[in-house]
Each structure stands twice: as C-alpha cells, then as structure tokens.
C-alpha cells in the first residue's frame, strides 16, 4: 500500500527505518489499544492528551498492517464498560472522535481501506453516530484492508444482540449452529481472529471479541498504545509466526 498523505512526523528518525514485515502474517489482527492514560500521566499530561496521541497512532498502525498483508484489523476504541469512567473523560473521548473521524476516514479512503464498525451506535450522540455511518459508507467499496472499529463494543453485548436477532428471526433450537451465530454477530463475513495484541501490559481480554478469539494467539506488550509503532507490530507478527497453533489437535 502506498503511503498516500502520510504525515512526516510519524517517522521522525529516518535512520530508524521500519523492519520488513515477517513472512508469517496473521490474516485477522485485533488490537486492544490500552495505556493512553498512563502514557499521558508519565509525561505530566492530562489523560485526554494520551487519547489524542492514541488516535494519531491508529492510521500509522493501520497502514503498517496493510503493508504487511493483514486482511482485517479490529481495533478496540471504546468498550461498553468504558461508560463507567468520569463523565469528562467520556465526553472528551467522544468529542475527540467527532473531531477526527471525517479527516481520518478520508485519509484511510485514499489508502483503499474499508472501514467497518462493530458495537452499538444506539445511545451514541446522533451527530457522531452519523459520522461513523458516513465513514463506513464512504469506504464501502474499497478493496484493501478492512479496518473494523470496535466502538461502544462489548463481546457479551454483541453475543446477546446476536441471540436476540436469531430469536426474532424465528430460528428453531434444532437449527441453531455455531455457523449461524457467526452470521448474526457484528463481525459476520469476517474471518476468526488470529492474533490479539494488547498494549499497556495488562493480560486480559476486557470483553473484546470473546467469540471470535476462541483460538487467537495472545500477545501482550508493556508499551503504551501511543508509542506502539511499526517495529513493535512486526515483532508481534514475528512472535505469532513462532507459535504452534494446534486448534485442539496434535501437531
């Protein structure tokens, strides 16, 4: 993928050229973009400055994934549990997204990225919800990487909504299969997750893609999301390439 319109400040040190992508690249990568608050605290900045820096990093990592040959990248942007945060942080995050989404979507569109959304837009401020729908519509016909944005997303909530829709469709208990559930999830049509990366050092899923991550490999790094760059991404891919995936069988 060409770096159309890439911001030069993303590559401040030309000698630190990004590594070549490793040979084994996961098809579907999920990233739990954690550590924005700590990144800001360590610099004596307000937490929102960390979210701002984190937003800047999304485009850089999306392009690095596309360059490596990843087909689907799911990013965890806001969980159904993040509403528990202080109102000013939640409001600040929503405002940040509303301010940035059109510009970011246009840039990703120029890079042939197809944006999808998973989660619940119900309850989101209508103007922001409309911008999310517009970003999805703008990039609908693109043929490059799928950037799947988990926004107001929770794995349990997604499964509950899928079951509701299955029941509303009148599916009988005998016809309920794993494949059918797949088709009713927000991720319908996307492959299962191969690799979950969590920045910020925690070792948990925090309600991210519970169904789809059944056989995903897990990679946690202490690096906070705003500092997680192309080199670290490709290190995670290299580690993924060394894992032996057995899917319950014998290798």
Residue 116 token pair: 């999808």
Q: How far apart are CA 179 and CA 170, in angstroms?
A: 16
Which of 76, 219, 237, 240: binder of ligand IPE (CB under 6 A)? 76
Question: Using a CB cutoff of 8 Å and minimum separation of 24, what contacts does 2-7 make?
Answer: 2/111, 3/63, 3/111, 4/107, 4/110, 4/111, 5/107, 5/110, 6/63, 7/59
Residue 152 token pair: 């107001």
| C-alpha pair distances (Å), 82 with each of 78, 148, 153, 157, 227 | 6, 19, 10, 13, 22
Tell me which residues in 91-130 interact with ligand IPE (CB under 6 A). 93
Q: How far apart are CA 219 and CA 243, in angstroms?
A: 11
Is position 154 an interface residue for ligand IPE (rule: CB under 6 A)?
A: no
CB 65 within 8 A of CB 21: no
Is position 226 an interface residue for ligand IPE (rule: CB under 6 A)?
A: no
82 binds, among Mg ion, ligand IPE, none (CB under 5 to 8 A by kind): ligand IPE
Which of 200, 213, 221, 228: binder of ligand IPE (CB under 6 A)? 200
Catalytic residue among 36, 57, 82, 142: 82
Q: Residues 18, 21, 26, 28: is their CA dihedral positive or negative?
A: positive
Query: First vs last Cα of the chain: how many Å apart?
Result: 35
Which of 21, 30, 35, 92: binder of ligand IPE (CB under 6 A)? 35
Q: Is 102 a residue of the active site?
A: no
Is position 187 an interface residue for ligand IPE (rule: CB under 6 A)?
A: no
142 binds, among ligand IPE, Mg ion, none (CB under 5 to 8 A by kind): none
Q: Is 41 a residue of the active site?
A: no
Applying CB under 6 A, the site for ligand IPE has a residue count of 17
Is position 157 an interface residue for ligand IPE (rule: CB under 6 A)?
A: no
- Residue closer to ligand IPE by CB (options 75, 146) is 75
Is position 43 an interface residue for ligand IPE (rule: CB under 6 A)?
A: no
Instruction: Give the footprint of ligand IPE on this chain (CB under 6 A).
Output: 32-38, 76-79, 82, 93, 200, 202, 204, 206
Q: Which residues are catalytic?
A: 34, 82
């Amino acid at each position: 993928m060409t770096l159309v319109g890439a911001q030069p400040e993303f590559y401040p040190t030309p000698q630190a050229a990004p590594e070549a992508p490793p040979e084994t690249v996961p098809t579907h990568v999920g990233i739990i973009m954690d550590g924005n608050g700590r990144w800001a605290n360590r610099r004596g900045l307000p937490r929102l400055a960390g979210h701002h820096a984190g937003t800047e990093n999304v485009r850089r990592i999306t392009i690095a994934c596309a360059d490596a040959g990843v087909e689907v990248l799911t990013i965890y942007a806001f969980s159904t549990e993040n509403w528990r945060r202080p109102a000013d942080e939640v409001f600040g995050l929503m405002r940040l997204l509303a301010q940035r989404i059109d510009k970011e979507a246009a840039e990703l569109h120029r890079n042939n990225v197809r944006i999808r959304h998973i989660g619940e837009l119900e309850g989101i401020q209508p103007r922001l919800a409309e911008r999310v729908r517009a970003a999805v519509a703008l990039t609908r016909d693109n043929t490059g990487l799928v950037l799947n944005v988990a926004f107001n997303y929770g794995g349990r909530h997604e499964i509950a909504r899928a079951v509701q829709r299955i029941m509303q469709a009148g599916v009988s208990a005998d016809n309920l299969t794993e494949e059918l559930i797949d088709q009713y999830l927000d991720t319908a049509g996307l492959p299962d997750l191969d690799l979950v990366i969590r920045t910020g050092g925690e070792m948990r899923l925090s309600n991210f893609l519970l169904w789809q991550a059944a056989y995903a490999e897990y990679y946690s790094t202490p690096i906070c999301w705003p500092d997680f760059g192309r080199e670290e991404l490709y290190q995670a891919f290299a580690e993924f390439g060394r894992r032996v995936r057995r899917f319950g069988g014998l290798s």
